[in-house]
């Protein structure tokens, strides 16, 4: 029964990993035994009543933590995980923004090992600060919980499995934007391509336009497929990751091409391109335009990389959590 699986999923989030399977199996058996003792009624109302009697997920999970001294106790731990996730996201986002500014404004090239190590090096100090704050909250007995509200099992989070619904509004918006961008780029590419059309020449885009168009086409077809299926699955997530990797390769080639072109005309940073504004000519317009493209490509590369990481995380999360809950339900 899905409601019981959702309830067990919510409890499992706050259980020790090494004991989670056994505890959830025990709870599942207890719930089913209670339903059997009441005549085997498995209607929604009956299931809701049994779950309410067992108690809210966090309270049930807390009862399985051993009593003793904690650096961060069960009551604070869910909030600790939430805050830690926010802090880690902020640190990684700040590092990526710094990389984006270095590439977009200063014309520096990517150095994947150094940039990756720079991001990783910032995480331990962030973790330490969050742990210290919550250890102090634990020491002084600060309670971060709100007043207990009436527990309604019907409001439990949906199962985070392979079959997650696609957000149709976001998907349609994404398709429309991709079609519009591809149409604009195609207009520039007609005839003599970017060299003859538009406000300025862009020989880099003209050279690699086929791969740019192919990248857009793959992404649009994938988004239409997702909209038609209506649900995220492992196969669709893997397809999205593949499309993102292809897009990142195309973006990287374009970005390096723009950096090399700007370096040849003596422009290494964004400020150098702004200096061209004092004398507006056909050449300065092209330089400013190429610098703007460099910045846009940098942002697009980072956004695509983040999207790919999110998809990988969701596949791993689904495999670790949801299958565990479903297997317990089947075993019970």
Per domain, the residue ranges of the chain are: 77-143, 164-321
What was the pLDDT predicted at 109?
57
Write the CB contacts of 311 (distance below 8 Å, at least 6 apart in sequence).
Answer: 237, 240, 241, 244
What was the pLDDT predicted at 5?
83
Determine the longest span between alpha carbons in the chain, in angstroms: 87
Query: Which is more confident, 212 or 278?
Result: 212
Q: What's the CA gap between 211 and 151, in Å, rounded? A: 54
pLDDT tens track for 220-263? 889 888 877 777 877 888 899 999 999 999 999 999 898 888 88
> Exposed e or buried b for every residue in 191-228, given b needs 16+ CB within 10 A?
eebbeeebebbbebbbbbbeebeebbebbbebbeebee
What was the pLDDT predicted at 242?
93
Average pLDDT value for the chain: 76
- What percentage of residues in the chain have a pLDDT greater than 90? 5
pTM value is 0.55
pLDDT tens track for 94-123? 776 666 656 555 555 556 566 667 777 778
Q: Contact at 8 Å (CB) between 251 and 300?
A: yes
Q: Contact at 8 Å (CB) between 30 and 17?
A: no
State yes or no: pLDDT of 21 exceeds 60.
Answer: yes
State yes or no: pLDDT of 179 exceeds 60.
Answer: yes
Q: How many helices (H) and strands (E) does the chain have?
A: 13, 2
Q: Contact at 8 Å (CB) between 312 and 241?
A: yes
What was the pLDDT predicted at 158?
65
Q: Look at 16-25, 63-72, 85-94, 221-230 and tell me which has the smallest mean pLDDT.
A: 63-72
- Confidence category of residue 215, pLDDT binned at 50, 70, 90: very high
Q: Contact at 8 Å (CB) between 87 and 81?
A: no
> Exposed e or buried b for every residue in 138-160, given b needs 16+ CB within 10 A?
beeeeeeeeeeeebebeebeebb
Containing 161, the helix (H) or strand (E) segment is none
pLDDT, mean of residues 123-146: 76
What was the pLDDT predicted at 147?
44
Q: What's the CA gap between 250 and 213, in Å, rounded? A: 10
What was the pLDDT predicted at 189?
62
Query: Which is more confident, 199 or 316?
Result: 316
Query: Which is more confident, 179 or 193?
Result: 179
Total residues found in the chain within this entry:
332
Q: What's the CA gap between 58 and 164, in Å, rounded? A: 24
**151-to-51, 141, 155 alpha-carbon distances in Å:** 9, 25, 8
Query: Which is more confident, 34 or 93?
Result: 34
- What percentage of residues in the chain have a pLDDT greater than 70? 71
Instruction: Mark residue 15 as left, alpha or beta (left: phi above 0; alpha: psi -120 to 50; beta: remaining).
Output: beta
- Which phi and psi (to 5°) does residue 165 adopt? -65, 140
Instruction: Mark residue 152 as left, alpha or beta (left: phi above 0; alpha: psi -120 to 50; beta: remaining).
Output: beta
pLDDT tens track for 273-298? 555 555 555 567 777 778 888 888 88
Query: Which is more confident, 166 or 221?
Result: 221
């Amino acid at each position: 029964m899905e409601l019981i699986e959702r309830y067990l999923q919510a409890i499992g989030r706050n259980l020790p990993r090494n004991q989670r399977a056994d505890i959830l199996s025990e709870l599942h058996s207890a719930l089913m035994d209670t339903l059997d003792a009441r005549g085997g009624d498995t209607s929604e109302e009956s299931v809701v009543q049994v779950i309410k009697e067992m108690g809210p997920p966090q309270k049930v999970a807390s009862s399985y933590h051993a009593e003793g001294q904690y650096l961060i106790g069960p009551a604070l731990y869910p909030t600790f995980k939430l805050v830690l996730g926010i802090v880690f996201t902020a640190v990684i986002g700040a590092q990526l923004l710094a990389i984006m500014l270095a590439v977009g404004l200063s014309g520096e090239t990517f150095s994947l090992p150094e940039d990756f190590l720079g991001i990783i090096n910032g995480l331990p100090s962030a973790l330490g600060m969050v742990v210290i704050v919550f250890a102090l909250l634990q020491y002084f007995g600060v309670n971060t919980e709100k007043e207990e509200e009436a527990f309604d099992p019907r409001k439990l989070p949906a199962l985070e499995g392979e079959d997650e619904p696609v957000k149709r509004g976001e998907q349609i918006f994404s398709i429309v934007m991709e079609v519009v961008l591809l149409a604009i780029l195609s207009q520039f590419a007609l005839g003599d391509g970017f060299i003859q059309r538009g406000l300025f020449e862009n020989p880099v885009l003209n050279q690699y336009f086929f791969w740019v168009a192919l990248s857009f086409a793959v992404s649009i077809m994938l988004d239409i497929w997702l909209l038609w299926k209506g649900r995220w699955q492992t196969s669709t997530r893997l397809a999205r990751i593949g499309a993102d990797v292809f897009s990142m390769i195309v973006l990287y080639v374009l970005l390096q091409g723009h950096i090399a072109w700007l370096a040849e005309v003596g422009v290494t940073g964004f400020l150098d391109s702004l200096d061209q504004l004092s004398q507006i000519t056909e050449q300065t317009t092209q330089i400013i335009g190429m610098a703007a493209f460099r910045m846009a490509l940098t942002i697009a590369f980072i956004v695509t990389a983040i999207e790919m990481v999110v998809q990988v995380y969701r596949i791993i999360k689904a495999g670790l959590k949801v299958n565990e809950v479903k297997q317990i339900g089947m075993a019970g």
